[in-house]
Amino acid sequence: MVRIALVEDEDMYAQTLQGFLHAYEKEKGAEFSIVRFCDGDEIAENYTGDFDLILMDIQMRFMDGYSAAKKIREMDEQVLIMFITNMTDYAIRGYEVDALDYILKPVTYYTFARKLERALSRISRDEEKVIALKVKEGVRKVRVKDILYVETLGHDLIYHLGGRREEEIRLRGKMQSAEEELEGCGFFRINRGYLVSLNAVEGIENGCAVIGGERLVISGARKQAFMDALAEYLTL
């Protein structure tokens, strides 16, 4: 199921676009979960990271689509954004926030369906496990394959990331919740303080797992199970 946010302050256009989405579902056998927002601030201020695609009007009363998209991009690099506008100049600015495309009003079903098809093919191509982390600023979407390891420190969790962006994300939480969310994704708890990605293990040295240049101690009680899990993972 594709999760779509429709951000449109005009009821008439919102109803039209919802009708187009339902027509596309019937025509293509697709399945959408659609949530409508009446202004940019409604989606941006309490963004949850729950969407695959955002269809967003640019000109709205309280927060325009461009400003809302900038705020969303600070938290979510993966979600696809398509702008809906009656002014081409506004639409072109959308590329500054990595918008996939724009649709000019008045919207026809043919144009809408063609551009939606492009967005859905992009979602299908880029589909991979993503988790939403609740940080102090709101929410951050993280690709699971970018997580090197998770560390617990006091009442906080620290997600150590590699891949396209090397950084640490710190938030309140318990290691058990991280284990549950990453279950089945190739992670192993090597001691009370570290949950590591088996894919990120560079080697084993002196009872430590080497990950991202760091040496993380493997608990003696977990060492054999970890070695077995690592060997099985490497043969997949």
- Sorting pLDDT into bands at 50, 70 and 90, what band is 25? very high
Residue 6 pLDDT exceeds 60 = yes
Three state DSSP letters for 130-186: EEEEEECCEEEEEEHHHEEEEEEECCEEEEEECCCCCEEEEEECCHHHHHHHCCCCC
CA distances from 203 to 154, 200, 213, 216 (A): 28, 9, 10, 11
Nearest to 15 by CA among 175, 79, 200, 23: 23
* Residues 90-139 pLDDT 10s: 555 666 677 888 888 889 999 999 999 989 888 766 556 788 898 887 88
Q: What is the CATH number of domain 2-125?
A: 3.40.50.2300
* Residues 191-203 pLDDT 10s: 999 999 998 999 8
| CA atoms of 93 and 96, how far apart (whole Å) | 6
pLDDT for the residue 224: 93
pLDDT for the residue 142: 86
Please, where in the chain does CATH 2.40.50.1020 lie? 136-234
Domain 136-234 has CATH 2.40.50.1020: yes
CA distances from 175 to 34, 157, 161, 167 (A): 33, 7, 16, 19
Nearest to 65 by CA among 75, 76, 74, 54: 54
pLDDT for the residue 137: 78
pLDDT for the residue 127: 57
Please, where in the chain does CATH 3.40.50.2300 lie? 2-125
pLDDT for the residue 99: 80
User: CB neighbours (10 Å) of residue 217?
Assistant: 13
Instruction: Please compute the mean of the pLDDT values over residues 64-80 and round it to a whole number.
Output: 87
What is the average pLDDT value for the chain, to the nearest integer? 88
pLDDT for the residue 40: 93
**The pTM is what?**
0.63
* Residues 37-64 pLDDT 10s: 999 999 998 888 889 999 999 888 888 8
